């Protein structure tokens, strides 16, 4: 069984880990020279309902990548406005740790392998072909190419290319595998009706901040610094991550220590930021043009079943942002593991797994699919860490940080360890 995964963000990495673990020959094709995609500049894990989802995946036997991330934190169990028990991974160490982990599992990782063409036989993909001219044949394919950019979308629907970590000018923009296979994809919309959403955080060089702020970040992992009223900028309504669209995030500079200082706003005019005490020398690390904009996302989501099989192509699965308006690493890793599992089950001629709605992860996958049938639902974003999905988790009684309760919930459904073998 040969599984070809296109896109090495968190979803693709989790799919690759799962497929290789349960015995498939696994190839992971990544457009750039690093794994983790937008995750290279992320870091927030286990906040609010993400804790529950993470522990569910561990109990299901598909939490390997979560356990690896747990070993690479700079700060654990911190709080910041609206968010409890968050942990922050070290963005300097995590891409290397994941690359070594997948290589150890036998995953064949190819960098600078940007898929731009495919070969199809009726409703099946037979091969993918990279811009560099290499061909990869497989039994089953997984689209984890994400929804961010490329540059023309950032220019048309955002504030221009902000020079983000996706580095489209250097490696070529995102190309959707489902799109190449002829699938009609869906797009998210902002509250003003325009399509896409702007990424919600930037990174500042810590060394460009005052020693007091750096000391606070190193010690606490978080710094909340009030912004004088005349300097406030409010970009909350265009954010992809609606869980941080709270007034506190406009009225304060909220920084999290992921190695750099993660600034929890889509962008902030540099000359204005430099007027805030402690930020006189502030410099953006990501995106380089964080003073004027950020990457744009949610342009290409595939219609799919709750087993994450893409509609209209027999041997194609999807995960992460490609699988819907799901925001976050946890959401990408959880769906990635399920897509990796089901891709191998499909190749082996076995029944596909749909996670039951009694579980937070199963409910989220089904709920987002239903929500995306309505124009109102396409205007929202879904994450275990806040906004509508976290509210729903609490209403359904699914949110808990009690590991034993989560293990029992999975056990009562006879699903303990189901993702650990074929």
Strands 261-263 and 25-29: unpaired
Answer yes or no: are the C-beta atoms of 212 and 311 closer than 8 Å. no
Residue 387 touching ligand FAD (CB under 6 A): no
Using CA atoms, how far apart are residues 251 and 271, in angstroms rounded to an integer? Answer: 17
The C-alpha R_g of the chain, in whole angstroms, comes to 20
Of the residues 11, 253, 325, 372, which one makes contact with ligand FAD according to CB under 6 A? 11
User: In the complex with ligand FAD, which residue's Cβ is closer, 227 or 332?
Assistant: 332
Q: Which window, 56-64, 92-100, 214-222, 320-328, contacts ligand FAD (CB under 6 A)? A: 320-328
Q: Which window, 10-18, 182-190, 340-348, 387-395, contacts ligand FAD (CB under 6 A)? A: 10-18
Answer yes or no: are the C-beta atoms of 297 and 176 closer than 8 Å. no
Residue 384: CB minimum distance to ligand FAD, A:
9
Q: What residues from 137 to 176 belong to the interface with ligand FAD (CB under 6 A)?
A: 144-146, 148, 174-175
Answer yes or no: are the C-beta atoms of 217 and 261 closer than 8 Å. yes
Q: Which window, 58-66, 275-283, 322-330, 365-373, contacts ligand FAD (CB under 6 A)? A: 322-330
- The structure tokens listed for 353 are 């797994």
Using CA atoms, how far apart are residues 40 and 21, in angstroms rounded to an integer? Answer: 24
Residue 16 touching ligand FAD (CB under 6 A): no
Residue 48 touching ligand FAD (CB under 6 A): no
Residue 12 touching ligand FAD (CB under 6 A): yes
Residue 328 touching ligand FAD (CB under 6 A): yes
User: In the complex with ligand FAD, which residue's Cβ is closer, 17 or 29?
Assistant: 29
Please state the three-class secondary structure of 298-359 as a single string: CCCECCECCCCEECCCCCEEECHHHHCCECCHHHHHHHHHHHHHHHHHHHCCCCCCCCCCCC
Of the residues 26, 48, 295, 309, which one makes contact with ligand FAD according to CB under 6 A? 295
Using CA atoms, how far apart are residues 140 and 130, in angstroms rounded to an integer? Answer: 17
Instruction: Note the residues at the interface with ligand FAD (CB under 6 A).
Output: 6-12, 29-32, 37-39, 41-44, 113-115, 144-146, 148, 174-175, 199, 201, 295, 320-322, 327-330, 332
């Amino acid at each position: 069984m040969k599984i070809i995964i296109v896109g090495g963000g968190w979803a693709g990495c989790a799919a690759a880990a799962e497929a290789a673990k349960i015995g498939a020959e696994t190839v992971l094709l990544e457009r750039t020279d690093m794994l983790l995609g937008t995750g290279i500049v992320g870091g927030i894990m286990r906040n609010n309902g993400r804790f529950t989802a993470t522990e569910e995946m561990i109990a299901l036997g598909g939490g390997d990548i979560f356990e690896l991330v747990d070993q690479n934190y700079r700060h654990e169990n911190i709080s910041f406005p609206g968010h409890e028990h968050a942990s922050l991974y070290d963005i300097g160490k995590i891409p290397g740790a994941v690359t070594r982990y997948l290589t150890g599992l036998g995953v064949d990782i190819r960098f600078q392998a940007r898929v731009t063409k495919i070969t199809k036989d009726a409703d099946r993909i037979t091969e993918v072909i990279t811009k560099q001219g290499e061909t990869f044949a497989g039994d089953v394919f997984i689209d984890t190419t994400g929804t961010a950019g490329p540059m023309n979308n950032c220019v048309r629907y955002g504030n221009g290319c902000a020079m983000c970590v996706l580095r489209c000018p250097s490696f070529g923009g995102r190309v959707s595998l489902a799109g190449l296979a002829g699938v009609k994809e869906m797009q998210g919309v902002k509250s003003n009706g325009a399509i896409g959403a702007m990424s919600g955080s930037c990174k500042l060089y810590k060394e460009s901040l005052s020693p007091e702020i750096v000391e606070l970040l190193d010690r606490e992992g978080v710094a909340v610094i009030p912004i004088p009223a005349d300097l406030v900028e409010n970009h909350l309504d265009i954010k992809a991550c609606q869980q941080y669209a709270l007034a506190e995030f406009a009225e304060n500079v909220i920084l999290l220590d992921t190695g750099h200082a993660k600034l929890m706003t889509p962008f902030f005019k540099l000359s204005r930021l430099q007027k805030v005490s402690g930020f006189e020398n502030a410099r953006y690390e990501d995106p380089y043009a964080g003073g004027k904009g950020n990457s744009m996302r949610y342009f290409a989501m595939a219609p799919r079943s709750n087993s994450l099989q893409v509609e209209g192509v027999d041997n194609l699965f999807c995960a992460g942002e490609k699988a819907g308006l799901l925001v976050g690493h946890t959401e990408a890793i959880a769906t990635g593991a399920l897509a990796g599992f089901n891709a191998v089950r499909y190749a082996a001629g076995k029944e596909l797994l749909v996670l039951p709605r009694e579980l937070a992860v199963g409910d989220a996958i089904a709920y987002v699919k239903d929500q995306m049938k309505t124009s109102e639902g396409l205007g929202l974003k879904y994450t275990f860490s806040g906004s509508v999905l976290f509210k729903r988790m609490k209403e359904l009684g699914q949110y808990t940080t009690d590991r034993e309760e989560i293990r029992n919930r999975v056990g009562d459904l006879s699903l303990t360890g189901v993702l650990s073998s074929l």
